[in-house]
Chain A
Amino acid sequence: MNWQAVNAIYRFEMSRTMRTLWQSIVSPVISTSLYFVVFGAAIGSRITEIEGVSYGAFIVPGLIMLTLLTQSVMNASFGIYFPRFTGTIYELLSAPISFLEIVLGYVGAAATKSILLGLLILATAALFVPIEIAHPFWMLAFLVLTAVTFSLLGFIIGIWADGFEKLQIVPLLIITPLTFLGGSFYSTSILPPFWRTVTLFDPVVYLVSGFRWSFYEIADVHVGISVGMTILFLVLCLAAIWWIFKTGYRLKS
């Protein structure tokens, strides 16, 4: 293993985060706070408790997931797309590094950033609503697994995209809608049976449900299924990345 290279890529990506600190850290925190003001305080005050949890506290895991998913995808896709766009990818391709090391460096940095953001949002949320974490280990496990999985997805998008438009399409048109529909702000149990079945095809349902269970022990689907699905997405993303590097798709002519 060329750990020096993994470290170099990781540090390079993290320093990019520090250079764009305002955009990377501050803006997601501000927008999450706004969600609290709107959904938690304004609308939430008129909504009764959901399964014994106040609405403001109920949406915290969903809000963290929303940021975690979009930021993981955005960071990782931008991280690998930018060298392709500027041409500096030549250095990665000619360096004595394996594809695994490239992925570790880029995805590791993107996931770290998302996890930090998730924890920051959790801390911000704690200022607005009282938060209990019933299963801290599982909470962290879901946080890390989801951040890694969606950073891998972002990495795939960053390699697939051949323009900035495509880079934006997936987070904006797929991830965000799926997160909103996936029970971030409500329990899917309140939906009519038909729509409840439809949501089972939304992968985000499993992530949000498992994550929320780690806080309040309430879940739309069994936590075991949530863990299984999260690992399944992880494996699917890893398989796609393995194929990309094996074929050199969009990287090598």
Chain B
Amino acid sequence: MHSPMQSIISVSNVSKTYATGFQALKDVNLDIRRGEIFALLGPNGAGKTTLINVICGIVNRSGGDISVDGLDILKDYRTVRSMIGLVPQELTTDAFETVWGTVSFSRGLFGKRKNPAHIEKVLTELSLLDKKDDQIRTLSGGMKRRVLIAKALSHEPKILFLDEPTAGVDVELRKDMWQVVRALRASGVTIILTTHYIEEAENMADRIGVINHGEIILVEDKAELMRKLGKKQLTLELQKKLDAVPEGLAAYDLTLAPGGGELTYTYDTQGERTGITALLSDLNKAGLRFRDLHTTQSSLEDIFVGLVSKRQ
């Protein structure tokens, strides 16, 4: 079990089956730690948005329990929801409302007293202050996305859900948003973001979760994943096929490919020594000759694609 102090959101055995019979979430278990940036990766239709919507109260779950800061999301919905800010994936805005009007409306909706100073601060941080009296319909897509973020931050949430925050946003703006998100984390806000961009997860997240077909298939610290990324593989194409790895090379933990034509050696680029020189010398001693060799390094994307395709 997790410690309630560390975990701010706890999702236990949550499932969701839509009226059409489509099972969007299957027995999902997930803990989000207080103050972290958690990136939820997954292909389209994997269940990312459904999971967020279930936690935020937009979609009813079919089973399981969810607590936020130790409180049940249904029993204590007022306290729970006032802690959460949500930036939806779709650019859904009140086209004819002004930026200031819509952000102030959100603050009121979440039960907070008027605080023009806070609204001004949020708009300044998102470079929206000069647009405050403009109608939302006159803004560009990227600006509308910022308005949605401003609305979500209007009531000073402790937890922020960003559902594909940078979809359709240009590179410059994307980097600006990363800055904003980092600043929020620094102020103690827990952030959960879903994304298609592996680069985004790599850049921002403390931990990464992968969801596919409604199941969480991996949750890991980014640092741990990066350590895995730091590993390289040296593949040796042998002149003569082998039945087994020679005993004298057991210390290298080599993998023999099916068919016996290739030997693979995994090493850590971050380590002091890679062991390649010793391996090559020992291979020579063992009388093994090779035709060719190459090295590969897996990226987060490879891990992600590998995980997802394995479950197809």
Contacts and interface: CB of A to CB of B under 8 A. Distances in A.
Interface of A: 2, 4-5, 7-9, 11-12, 15-16, 19, 86-88, 90-97, 248, 252-253
A248 B18 CA distance: 13
Contacts of A19: 96
B110 A5 contact: yes
B109 interface: yes
A92 B86 CA distance: 11
Given A5-B111, A95-B81, A96-B111, A90 B86 contact: yes
Given A4-B108, A5-B108, A86 B59 contact: no
| Dominant secondary structure of chain A at its interface with chain B | helix
Interface in B76-125: 77-82, 84, 86, 88, 90, 92-97, 101, 104-113
B7 interface: no
A91 B60 contact: no
Given A86-B93, A87-B88, A92 B109 contact: yes
A5 B60 contact: no
Contact of B108 (A7, A15, A16): A7
A94 B86 contact: yes
Nearest to B91: A87
A45 B82 CA distance: 62
Interface of B: 18-19, 56-60, 77-82, 84, 86, 88, 90, 92-97, 101, 104-113, 151
B18 to A, nearest CB: 6
Identify the interface centre among B77, B101, B109: most chain A CB within 10 Å of its CB. B109
Q: Which of B94, B96, B104 is most buried by chain A, counting CB atoms within 10 A of its CB?
A: B94
B216 to A, nearest CB: 21
A86 B60 CA distance: 21
B226 to A, nearest CB: 33
A86 to B, nearest CB: 6
Nearest to B88: A90
A88 B57 contact: no
B58 A93 contact: yes
Contact of A96 (B82, B86, B94, B97): B82
Given A5-B111, A7-B108, A87-B90, A94 B96 contact: no
A252 B60 contact: yes
A91 B81 CA distance: 11
A96 B77 contact: yes
B9 to A, nearest CB: 14
Given A94-B86, A248-B60, A8 B101 contact: no
Given A2-B78, A86-B92, A252-B59, A94 B18 contact: no
A17 to B, nearest CB: 12
Contacts of A96: 77-82, 110-111
A91 B59 contact: no
The winner among A9, A15, A96, A253 for most chain B CB atoms within 10 A is: A96
B60 A9 contact: no
Contacts of B60: 248, 252-253
A91 B113 CA distance: 18
Contacts of A97: 109, 111
Contacts of A90: 58, 86, 88, 92
Contacts of B108: 4-5, 7-8, 11
A253 B95 CA distance: 25
Contacts of A248: 60
* Nearest 8 CB-CB pairings of A with B: A8-B108, A87-B92, A96-B81, A96-B78, A94-B56, A96-B82, A2-B111, A95-B109
Given A86-B93, A86-B94, A96-B78, A5 B109 contact: yes
Nearest to B76: A96
27 contacts: A2-B111, A4-B110, A4-B113, A5-B108, A5-B109, A7-B108, A8-B105, A8-B109, A9-B109, A11-B108, A86-B92, A87-B92, A90-B86, A90-B88, A90-B92, A91-B86, A91-B151, A92-B109, A93-B56, A96-B79, A96-B80, A96-B111, A97-B111, A248-B60, A252-B59, A253-B59, A253-B60
